[in-house]
Structure 1
Amino acid sequence: MGAYDIEIEGLAAEARAALVREIDADGAWAEDPVWREAFAQVPRHLFVPYYYVAGRGGYERRWGQSPNPEARERWVRGAYDDVPLATRLRDGELLSSSSQPSLMARMLVALRVEDGDRVLEVGAGTGYNAALLAHRLGDDDLVTSIDLEPEITESARQHLAAAGHHPVVVTGDGARGVPERAPFDRVIATCALPTVPRAWLAQCRPGARVLTPLSTGLLTLTVRDGEHAEGRFLPSAAYFVPLRGEGRAHPDGMSLAGLPDRAREQELFRFLLVLLRGTLDPREAYGLWEREGEPDRGRYGVTVAGERAWAWLDDPEGPYLWPLP
């Protein structure tokens, strides 16, 4: 190992320890502290050899092979900031990112992974999340990750190999799952979807747990069988790059004209609007939201029953039900 590598590894270890302390203080893995070791051991900087930081003049590219020592230090320290990192851009559009580590920690805890579980990850990203899963499970073959973009899956494989992990990384439409690797005990998506793909349920064992971004929240579902699942949203907000492929999310495009200024500022109201996807007029939605005491995410849930899927407030039997695609 050369002097450059020793310098980088030393900086990375210091920054990684600081990140773990920060997530510790946030209490993200209090319910399942086994994840602390995964975050302490898996080197995030190997998964982001370069990334982009937004600035006044656009995006600044930080690169681990920069000839400038100060730039290299900014890169490695920034790799362990508790923030999402933009990793792929195309014509100004964000294609892929490495999620905020504390959010990843909360999601992995909420997934309730147990020893021996087979896990499907939808949205390979940099490969960092798959590495955390593989480290936790102690068996690379239990983890399958899928992404539509060949460039993303190939770089994820390279990053994983550099970190000493070799889970199965598949190029394909995440909404279709990976039937040849089924059945799964856990499914976790790291991209936003408009509904719950039925293919996931068909590829799950009964009792499996699904965690997926929906609207601006995180939905947790328990799978009853290949056609039925139900669950609620976690209380925290979550914003992800939309899934590309058949199950891709579409922008809501809703006008807030005519609503009180307060409605524009209420993030929980916008969560409801996106979840409704136009099934209620925004004014009617705002009236409902106020009447029901400005409900937080934890009061909403989703039920999937065969070809039907619906979101609900408080009770899956109603009175507040809204169809999902």
Structure 2
Amino acid sequence: MSTGDDLLREAQDRLDAAMESRGLWPEEDSAWVRGAMTALPRHRFAPDVVWEWDGWTWVAVDREREPGRWAALVYPEPQDSTVTQITDGLPTSSLSCTQVVADMLDSLMLQPGQSVVELGTGSGWNAALLAHRAGPGGRVVSVEIDPGLARAAAERLAAAGAPVEVRTGDGTAGIAGLEPVDRLVATYAVETVPGTWIEQVRPGGRLVIPWGRLGHYALTVAEDGTSATGWLQGLALFMGDRHATSAATSPAPAPGGETAVDDQEMFEDLTGGHLLFALRVSHPGIVVSVEGSGARARVRLREETSGRSALVKRTDGALVAATGEGRELWVALRAGYQLWRERGRPEQWDFGMTVSPAGQTVWIHDPASGPYTG
């Protein structure tokens, strides 16, 4: 019979092997990430109770009573996170999925001896990895809005020997009184990158920020210190800023109109992935998610402001919105599809972002191309 330690080692080895076989471990300048995750394993930063979705509700899984199940949840598939806190029936904190943590650390390009601010301490695992890389000559300051999470993370970090300054506060405002740092990373998504985050980083420094709960950008601060520009680095779902309000629906104007939208073609392109991100830019108020693939693929739509929803799927070669209240959402997205086609069907990696005192602009190919709109 396996002991708790054996179960953890087996689960940890499975996750490491999955990352290896799928080519998900960063290489070259970021090869340090794998070693850091081995030295500072996920389970050292997980609470004794984690949560699992059973199809109806979130169920608590206790480490002492169910060590094997707990280990499997702490070391899931590379693309899966571990829910560590439920508030009013909804997840409010998690150990982020290993694939995304590795990708974001790679994008951050943190060097030994540098200073870094982390916004959203959570369990403390990511902060520990940052401290491992920054080393004795570096500095890691992490801020967490939830006092309970901040206390628990500080205790785990101390037990792991990770020199991280954990502060309690609202990271959206940055950290007052702290001189500009070399790097800044957020662990929760924002719709609009706060100007205070740009000011927190020195000219030439780098920020890695989840945006729109769909992907993360890496931005480099300009020499004047007032703006930052960069590219989309990866896709993943992120928990949002706890103070954020739902994005308003802002359909892009339909371009030219020389060709009518073919719903079947739009459906096929949407399940391919690149259009999904483009619609997130052009129609931020409509949450679009794809389930399954091929003939079984389905697209779910939900309007954040009204709660209207739709399920779009194939039926005998035709597309049907299964929920009548949201049929208009599919029609609204046609404008975004036409925009995407007119702009040359850009891939998700073609999207960049500039944040300046004048506002935030998402563009494709080159900042000079202007906002991604019709």
TM-score of the superposed pair, with normalisation by structure 1: 0.85
Q: Tell me if structure 1 keeps the 8 A contact 2:7–2:67.
A: no
Q: Tell me if structure 2 keeps the 8 A contact 1:176–1:199.
A: yes
Change (3 A) 1:151 1:315: same
Aligned partners of 2:117 and 2:262: how far apart in 1? Answer: 41
The one of 246, 251, 257 aligned to 1:250: 246
1:8-42: CA deviation from partner (whole Å, max 9, x where unpaired)? 33432343233223222333312321111101111
Aligned partners of 2:55 and 2:87: how far apart in 1? Answer: 19
1:115-170: CA deviation from partner (whole Å, max 9, x where unpaired)? 11111111111111111111222249611111211122122112222323241111
Greater length-normalized contact order (CA 8 Å, ≥ 6 residues apart): 1
- Counterpart of 1:48 in structure 2 is 46
Question: What one-letter code is carried by the residue in structure 1 that aligns with 2:337?
Answer: Y
- Counterpart of 1:135 in structure 2 is 132
Question: What one-letter code is carried by the residue in structure 2 that aligns with 1:114?
Answer: Q
Question: What one-letter code is carried by the residue in structure 2 that aligns with 1:21?
Answer: A
- Counterpart of 1:58 in structure 2 is 57
Change (3 A) 1:187 1:272: same
The one of 198, 201, 215 aligned to 1:201: 198
Question: What one-letter code is carried by the residue in structure 2 that aligns with 1:20?
Answer: D
Secondary structure (helix, strand or coil) at the match of 1:317 reads helix
- Counterpart of 1:222 in structure 2 is 220
Give 5+ residue unaligned stretches, structure 1: 1-5
Which 10-residue stretch deviates more, 187-196 or 133-142? 133-142
The one of 111, 116, 124 aligned to 1:114: 111
Q: Tell me if structure 1 keeps the 8 A contact 2:184–2:208.
A: yes
Aligned partners of 2:370 and 2:360: how far apart in 1? Answer: 15
- Counterpart of 2:67 in structure 1 is 72
Matched, 1:285 2:336: yes
Aligned partners of 2:69 and 2:35: how far apart in 1? Answer: 25
The one of 16, 22, 43 aligned to 2:18: 22
Q: Tell me if structure 2 keeps the 8 A contact 1:12–1:43.
A: no
Paired residues, number: 309
Matched, 1:311 2:372: no
- Counterpart of 2:141 in structure 1 is 144
Identity of aligned residues (%): 31
Matched, 1:240 2:235: no
Give 5+ residue unaligned stretches, structure 2: 252-260, 287-331
Change (3 A) 1:22 1:271: same
Change (3 A) 1:74 1:321: closer
Matched, 1:89 2:97: no
Greater C-alpha Rg: 2
Coordinate RMSD, CA, aligned: 2.7
Q: Tell me if structure 2 keeps the 8 A contact 1:242–1:249.
A: no
Secondary structure (helix, strand or coil) at the match of 1:108 reads helix
Question: What one-letter code is carried by the residue in structure 2 that aligns with 1:220?
Answer: A
